[in-house]
C-alpha cells in the first residue's frame, strides 16, 4: 500500500464546479465592453462582403436596423467605415468633410433613431483618397512617395469637425500622423465641441491582418505601403512613446491595433497609463476564426469568445470586434 499523499495546497479545488469557478473568475466580458464596426455605402441594398463572411456593407436604412439589432443584445457603441464611390475620391480627399457626405448622414440617422448609442467615427483619408493612403501623398524628385504630415492633419481636423457637427460622440483618428490628437482637440474645442471624445489609434501597426478590411472598402493603397506612418510590428517601446504623446495632447482613450498578436502592447499601455485602453480585433483576426470554423476545424462560438476574453485579460477596457453582435447575444 502506498502512503497517502500529503498535499495541502491544491489549486484544483478552485476549479471544482461551475459555481466555484464563477466565484474565482478574474475576467468577464460584458456587452457594453464591445464596439461594433459597421461598413456602409451609398446604395439602396445591403451587400454581403465577400472577404468578411457574415458582414455587410449596409445601406443607410440597413445600417440603422443593424444598430438596432446590436443594441437589442446590449451593444451600445458602433464605429462607422464608409465605402466611398470612386468618382468622389480625390488626391486631397475633400469628400471627407462634406457635411452631406455618407458618414454625417449615417451619424444623424443613427442618433435620431437611437440617441443612447455611442457613435464613433474613423478619422483618416484612406476611404476618400484616390491613392488609398491615410494622408496626402506627393512624389519627391527621386520618385519616392511621401505622405505629408501637417497638411494631412489640417484635413483630418476638418473631417473630425464635420463628424462632430453631425452628432458623433467620439472621433477616432486612425491615420498615425504626428500631432493630430492635439490639433483635432484644439479644432473641436474652438468650435464648441468640448464634449466630443477622442479615441486615438495610438499604436496602430503596419499589419498584414488588415487585408480583408481593405477588400471590403476597396481602400488598399494604390502604390507603396503604410510603413512610414503605421508602426513596425517589431516595436514595443515605441508604443509607449506614442501613448505619452497622445495622453499629453488630450486623448480620452488609447487604442492598440491589431489586438490578438499585440497583447503585450495592450498590457504595457494598461499598466502605464491611467486612461481607458481599447483594442481592435481586426478583419484578418476575424477572418481566420471564421474560415477555420467554416471548414469545421474549430468551434467559432468558443474560439471567438476565448479570443475576446484574452484581449480583455491583457488589459483592454473595450474591444472593437466584428463578433460584437453575436458575442453580446451569448453573454
> Which residues carry out catalysis?
204, 257
300: nearest Cα among 266, 275, 323: 323
* Cβ proximity to ligand PBG, 94 vs 272, nearer residue: 94
Taking the C-alpha atoms of residue 24 and residue 46, their distance in angstroms, rounded to an integer, is 44
* Cβ proximity to ligand PBG, 272 vs 288, nearer residue: 288
* Cβ proximity to ligand PBG, 247 vs 322, nearer residue: 322
Taking the C-alpha atoms of residue 69 and residue 76, their distance in angstroms, rounded to an integer, is 11
Q: Are 280 and 49 in contact (CB under 8 A)?
A: no
* Cβ proximity to ligand PBG, 282 vs 324, nearer residue: 282
| Cell numbers given for 220 | 488598399
Question: Residue 35, SS3?
Answer: strand
* Cβ proximity to ligand PBG, 177 vs 243, nearer residue: 177
210: nearest Cα among 174, 159, 168, 246: 174
At residue 79, what are phi and psi to the nearest 5 degrees?
-125, 135
Q: Are 118 and 75 in contact (CB under 8 A)?
A: no
Nearest residue to the partner ligand PBG, using Cβ: 213
Virtual torsion, Cα 174, 79, 56, 128, nearest 10 deg: -40
Taking the C-alpha atoms of residue 141 and residue 91, their distance in angstroms, rounded to an integer, is 18
DSSP 275: S
159: nearest Cα among 135, 185, 124: 124
Interface with ligand PBG by CB under 6 A: which residues? 122, 124, 126, 134, 174, 210, 213-214, 282-283
DSSP string, 96-148: GG-TTSHHHHHHHHHHHH-TTSEEEEEE-STTTBTT-SSSEEEE-TTS-EEEE
Q: In which element (H, E) is residue 45 found? A: none
Taking the C-alpha atoms of residue 230 and residue 93, their distance in angstroms, rounded to an integer, is 19
* Cβ proximity to ligand PBG, 12 vs 133, nearer residue: 133
| Cell numbers given for 296 | 469545421
| Min separation Cβ 321 and ligand PBG, Å | 9
Amino acid at each position: 500500500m502506498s502512503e497517502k499523499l500529503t498535499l495541502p495546497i491544491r489549486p484544483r479545488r478552485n476549479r471544482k464546479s461551475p459555481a466555484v469557478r464563477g466565484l474565482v473568475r478574474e475576467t468577464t466580458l460584458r456587452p457594453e465592453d464591445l464596439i461594433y464596426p459597421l461598413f456602409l455605402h451609398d446604395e439602396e441594398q445591403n451587400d454581403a462582403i465577400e472577404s468578411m463572411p457574415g458582414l455587410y456593407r449596409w445601406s443607410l436604412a440597413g445600417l440603422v436596423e443593424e444598430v438596432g439589432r446590436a443594441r437589442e443584445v446590449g451593444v451600445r457603441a458602433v464605429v462607422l467605415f464608409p465605402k466611398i464611390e470612386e468618382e468622389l475620391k480625390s488626391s486631397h480627399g475633400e469628400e471627407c468633410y462634406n457635411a452631406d457626405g455618407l458618414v454625417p448622414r449615417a451619424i444623424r440617422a443613427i442618433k435620431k433613431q437611437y440617441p443612447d448609442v455611442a457613435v464613433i467615427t474613423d478619422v483618416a483619408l484612406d476611404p476618400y483618397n484616390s491613392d488609398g493612403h491615410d494622408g496626402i501623398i506627393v512624389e519627391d524628385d527621386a520618385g519616392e512617395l511621401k505622405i505629408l504630415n501637417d497638411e494631412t492633419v489640417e484635413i483630418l481636423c476638418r473631417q473630425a469637425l464635420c463628424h462632430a457637427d453631425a452628432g458623433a460622440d467620439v472621433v477616432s483618428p486612425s491615420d498615425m500622423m504626428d500631432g493630430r490628437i492635439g490639433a483635432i482637440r484644439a479644432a473641436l474645442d474652438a468650435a464648441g465641441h468640448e464634449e466630443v471624445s477622442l479615441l486615438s489609434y495610438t499604436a496602430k501597426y503596419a499589419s498584414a491582418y488588415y487585408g480583408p478590411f481593405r477588400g471590403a472598402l476597396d481602400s488598399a493603397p494604390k502604390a507603396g505601403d503604410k510603413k512610414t506612418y503605421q508602426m513596425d510590428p517589431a516595436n514595443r517601446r515605441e508604443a509607449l512613446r506614442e501613448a505619452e504623446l497622445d495622453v499629453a495632447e488630450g486623448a480620452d482613450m488609447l487604442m492598440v491595433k491589431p489586438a490578438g498578436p499585440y497583447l503585450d502592447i495592450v498590457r504595457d499601455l494598461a499598466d502605464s497609463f491611467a486612461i481607458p485602453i481599447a483594442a481592435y480585433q481586426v478583419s484578418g483576426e476575424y477572418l481566420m476564426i471564421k474560415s477555420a470554423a467554416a471548414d469545421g476545424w474549430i468551434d467559432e462560438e468558443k474560439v471567438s469568445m476565448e479570443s475576446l476574453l484574452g484581449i480583455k485579460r491583457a488589459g483592454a477596457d473595450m474591444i472593437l470586434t466584428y463578433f460584437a453582435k453575436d458575442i453580446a447575444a451569448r453573454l
